Amino acid sequence: MSANNMRPAIMVGILTGSPTDLPTVVKVRDTLSDLGISSEIIVASAHRTPDKVFKYLERAHRENVQVLVGCAGVAAHLAGVIAGHTRLPVIGLPLSGGVMSGLDALLSTVQMPPGVPVATVAVDGAKNAAMLAARILALKYPDINQALEEAARQERSRYEQSAEAALAGLTPR
């Protein structure tokens, strides 16, 4: 097996702009972990600590990390800067907060110039950031594909059960 096909210790690198982002960002890690996917969270900012971002990207490439998630609020340039420095798929997670409740972060993350894509999920969409990373990894790792199938089965069943409970709770007329 070539080094590229070997399963790396860390599959997903999650970078976030500030420690204040962590309550939302940790949900990316936890969702990945539920699917059996290893990840690490790095607090680094394209504005405040650009060197740390670039150093991490060097290590991520060396260690064969497969997908990167860039999380940031307000003037959210982190995911875009990451995308400019890697050929790995980059998922952008815009975070709420500040005067525009996340709209500023959403637009700063999603409006990338042609050729430098950031796959942007909803504001505070931590779960979908993780699920999208998992779908990318599932192309290469059949066990992750299976974990996603199982998660979808469970999600459907939870949905049906809550729909039945809600309908049963309606006042009859």
> What is the footprint of ligand C2R within residues 77-136 (CB under 6 A)?
77-78, 95, 97
Nearer CB in complex with ligand C2R: 129/147:
129
Options 61-69, 76-84, 113-121, 141-149: segment touching ligand C2R (CB under 6 A)? 76-84
48: phi then psi, degrees, rounded to nearest 5: -90, -35
Q: Which of 18, 39, 66, 120 contacts ligand C2R by CB under 6 A?
A: 18
Looking at beta carbons only, is 37 or 76 nearer to ligand C2R?
Answer: 76
Nearer to ligand C2R, 76 or 119 (CB): 76
Q: Does 74 bind ligand C2R (CB under 6 A)?
A: yes
Whose Cβ is closer to ligand C2R: residue 10's or residue 22's?
Answer: 22
Q: Give the C-alpha separation, 110 to 73, whole Å.
A: 12
Distance in angstroms (rounded) separating the CA atoms of residues 70 and 45: 10
Count Cα atoms within 13 angstroms, Cβ side, for 63.
18
Between vectors from CA 88 to CA 143 and to CA 5, what angle results, nearest 5°? Answer: 45
Count of CA atoms in the C-beta half-sphere (13 A) of 126: 22
Q: Which stretch binds ligand C2R (CB under 6 A): 33-41, 42-50, 118-126, 128-136?
A: 42-50
Based on the shown chain and the rule CB under 6 A, indicate whether residue 68 belongs to the binding site for ligand C2R: no
> How does DSSP classify residue 69?
E
